[in-house]
A and B are shown apart, each in its own frame.
Chain A
Amino acid sequence: MVKLAKTPYGFFAIAMQNQIVEMKELPKDPKKVAIELNDGSFEEWQKKLIKKGLDVEDGLFDPLRAASLIGTKRRDYLAYSRLVGIEEGKILLKKAIGKDYIIIQSVAGLDDLNKSINIMINRIREWYGLHYPELKEEDHEKFLKKILDDKRGKSMGIELSEKDKEAIQKSAKMILEMYKEKGSLEAYLEKLMKEVAPNLEKLAGANLGARLVDRAGSLKKLSEMPGSTIQVLGAEKALFKHLRKGTPPPKHGVIFQHAVINRAPRDKRGRLARTLASKMALASRIDFYSGKINDSITRSWNKRIKEVLN
């Protein structure tokens, strides 16, 4: 019987009397060690030993005790394990942070941009209203363009100097730029989603799909969620109130943004949300594990919409 040790110094097979029967040394370089500790080298080495006929016990031997068998001091072991740990951490972090993290930041950036635009639009409407309160234009972008044209009919508003106008128009230009940026960010997000989560994008649209990834924390986490959880993502307040106090459970969280759900009659929304959420769970799993487009999900979703609505 031998016990195996996987350590930053190397791999050991240790027999009963703390005797090393086999050993594979690792290079004396924390970066290289970190790679070899994570690339399956140990498992391969272990297989070779078993092939050789060694009787390998389950569970690993203490790495510090193993290293001390080749004369490593405790202090040196601790310091070296730290250097290797830091290098390993860097490798694992890179692997853990995929493109879905870019999606999360982009969709949050889009939200920030929308909020900023709204704040600034409200301000500029008040501001220009001093000069031309009669201007009726609901569409924000058109309103901004009219500020730049500054064609005023008869008005009860006050007169503005060139300097006053310039200040308002500068601000209007900036907000128009933000609208442009919003459009290009949306297009970028759609492209990202089609690349990273094509099935989810197809089913939910880029915006909603990205929001779900954001709420879950990552595509991996979303793919590990059951449909019932996805259904109420974004409705946590109502959900916990339901669990604590027995109020009616929420029917939908952010998936309410899906056009099929929010256009459906009230009494059908819950049923549709439940199906949609379970299809999203499937879609995110396919996206996370294979990334291939699978039409059967949208097909069965469309079938279900007809069933429920007719």
Chain B
Amino acid sequence: MIRIKRDFATENLVKGQLVYGERIIKKKGKEFRIWDPKRSKVGAALQKGMKIPLTEDMIVLYLGVASGTTASHISDEVKNGMIYGVDPAPRVLRDFLLLSEVRKNLVPILKDANRPEIYKHLVPEVDLIIQDVAQPNQAQILIKNIKTYLKKGGLAFVAIKARSIDVTSNPRKIFKEFKHELKDYKIIDEKSLEPFEKDHLALLIRN
């Protein structure tokens, strides 16, 4: 991963192929895809200074992978690892499946993250969990998946969208309650995602 002025960029794993209309920059014969913080919450958290380690041979479980905008950048970084992308919505997972056919480190899983045991025939123990699911019971979903898949000492990144948990309540209160639900784990970093996303908080958690 490199920085170009303010932006982060990842070296394109599949040269010449764009994923979501992102900008491309060529440097010394290499091709870099600019990681748009407005389209990706992980991208936004990086710009806000959160340090999310992405190493070459990591195994990642991505909950709420959607069409794979963010996952594509992680796929650039995690060259020799594997990203298991879970999403229950057929329309977006179809796009992710097509992306998986091109990128050798993506696996599409059309399942509901509420029940982690139903994808345990594919997903092994993982080094990192990324969660972007915008569900009212997001914290519970995360905990179940940490228990089932995250190795001891592994990390979990979670983006919390206050409005999806409860529109009527104050975001600060929701974030506080969310953190309370995760009290058994260590929160090692947290960043608000303003100005890229409104009422979003990103947490980095250690198992």
Contact = CB atoms under 8 A, between A and B. Distances in A.
Interface in A33-78: 37, 42, 59-60, 62-65, 75, 77-78
Given A93-B97, A96-B110, A85 B168 contact: no
Contacts of B106: 82
B168 A243 contact: yes
Interface string A83-102: 01110111011001100000
A7 interface: yes
A8 B59 CA distance: 17
A82 B125 contact: no
Nearest to B125: A62
Nearest to A98: B90
Contacts of B124: 62-65, 77, 81
Interface string B66-99: 0000000000000011101000001001100100
Counting contact residues on chain B (CB < 8 A from A), the size range is: 20 to 34
B97 to A, nearest CB: 5
A165 to B, nearest CB: 45
Given A7-B121, A62-B124, A63-B122, A89 B82 contact: no
A63 B107 contact: no
Contacts of A82: 82, 100, 104-107
Contacts of B81: 78
B101 interface: yes
A244 B123 CA distance: 40
Given A62-B124, A244-B167, A86 B108 contact: yes
Contacts of A89: 93, 97, 100, 108-110
Interface in B109-153: 109-111, 117, 120-125
Given A60-B120, A64-B125, A78 B97 contact: no
B200 to A, nearest CB: 18
Given A78-B59, A81-B82, A8 B121 contact: yes
A81 B110 CA distance: 14
A6 to B, nearest CB: 4
A44 to B, nearest CB: 15
A127 interface: no
Contacts of A88: 109-110, 122
B84 A85 contact: yes
Interface-centre pick from A60, A63, A85, A88 (highest chain B CB count, 10 A)? A85
Nearest to B147: A59
B90 A97 contact: yes
Given A86-B100, A92-B111, 20 more contacts: A6-B121, A7-B121, A8-B121, A60-B117, A62-B125, A63-B120, A78-B82, A78-B105, A81-B123, A82-B100, A82-B106, A85-B122, A86-B101, A88-B109, A88-B110, A89-B93, A89-B100, A89-B109, A92-B110, A93-B93
29 contacts: A59-B117, A60-B117, A63-B124, A64-B124, A65-B125, A75-B80, A77-B124, A78-B81, A79-B104, A81-B82, A81-B107, A81-B122, A81-B124, A82-B104, A82-B105, A84-B122, A85-B100, A85-B107, A86-B97, A86-B101, A86-B107, A88-B109, A88-B110, A89-B93, A89-B97, A89-B108, A92-B111, A96-B90, A97-B90
The 4 closest A-B pairs by CB, nearest first: A64-B124, A85-B107, A6-B121, A89-B108
